[in-house]
Amino acid sequence: MLQRIQRIADHLKDITGGFTPETGIILGTGLSGLGREIEVEHSIAYASIPEFPVSTVQGHPGKLLFGKLGGKPVVAMQGRFHYYEGWTMPEVVLPVRVFKFLGIKRLFVSNACGGVNPGFDTGDLMILDDHICLFPNPLIGRNIDDLGPRFPDMSEPYDHALIAKAKDIAAKHGINVRQGTYVGLTGPTLETPAEYRYVRNIGGDAVGMSTVPEVIAARHMGLPCFAMSVITDMGVEGRIEKTTHEMVQRVAEKAEPSLTTIMKELVAAC
């Protein structure tokens, strides 16, 4: 896997003329619009990158964008890879590994997810301050010492300083943000009422099918992380409705401008 990561990184360096991003960004379902704010220098389809996975989910365009955001060099994924698509966990987190080899110093992640905190509502933005991993851990197997330690510390999965800056930015723009714990499940089924209750009972505020493996891989490599969720549906008793992927996309797209404002200014502040 280490050789595969290096080959992909070298290929991208050749295509981009050695472009060195400082921040890596992963854009979730319905949240690819932040890409429009990037002064794109190179747009590369996943399908054109040897040994790189390909997005199969609606709302995930499947491109790497290299350019400037808030005046800072970034690389952004328009669309991610999910465990439920059939990728192995090392493949799910492969882009994060490649980003590190390209030179990023931090990772920003966004996602669309369900809310289980009764104080939340659809369309809310939540800053992640912790997570619970109910996925197979992406670090299972032989450790690659060149990437990180066998037993990485996870006492601060989401960087406290980045969270504080993001909250200041939100307050400046009058954007209401929640803060809480994200629980990662495999999907692709949406949760049953009993599963929503379980997620809440174990300490979750929101539940989704991504983000956690990517953050684990990033922290394994010593990268500070920041993540935001759009609450696209509610898993609270009395408020559970039949949900489709298209509904999730619509809610995420409506909340996207506020998320974009926070992400863009946070990148610029780093």
Q: Identify the sign of the CA torsion 37, 41, 165, 203.
A: positive
pLDDT tens for 5-58 read: 999 999 999 999 999 999 999 998 767 778 889 999 999 999 999 999 987 766
Question: Which is it for strands 125-133 and 225-234: parallel, antiparallel or unpaired?
Answer: antiparallel
Band of residue 193 on the pLDDT scale cut at 50, 70, 90: very high
Which of 97, 73, 75, 98 lies closest to 26 in space, CA to CA? Answer: 75
pLDDT tens for 139-186 read: 999 999 999 999 999 999 999 999 999 999 999 999 999 999 999 999
- 41: enclosing H helix or E strand: strand 39-45
pLDDT tens for 119-145 read: 999 999 999 999 999 999 999 999 999
Which letter, b or e, does each residue of 26-40 get, where b requires 16 or more Cβ atoms within 10 Å of its Cβ?
bbbbbbbebbebbee
Q: What integer pLDDT is reported at residue 250 of this predicted model?
A: 86
pLDDT tens for 225-249 read: 999 999 999 999 988 888 888 888 8
What torsion do the CA atoms of 14, 15, 21, 25 make, to the nearest 10 degrees? -130
Which domains does the chain carry? 2-269 (3.40.50.1580)
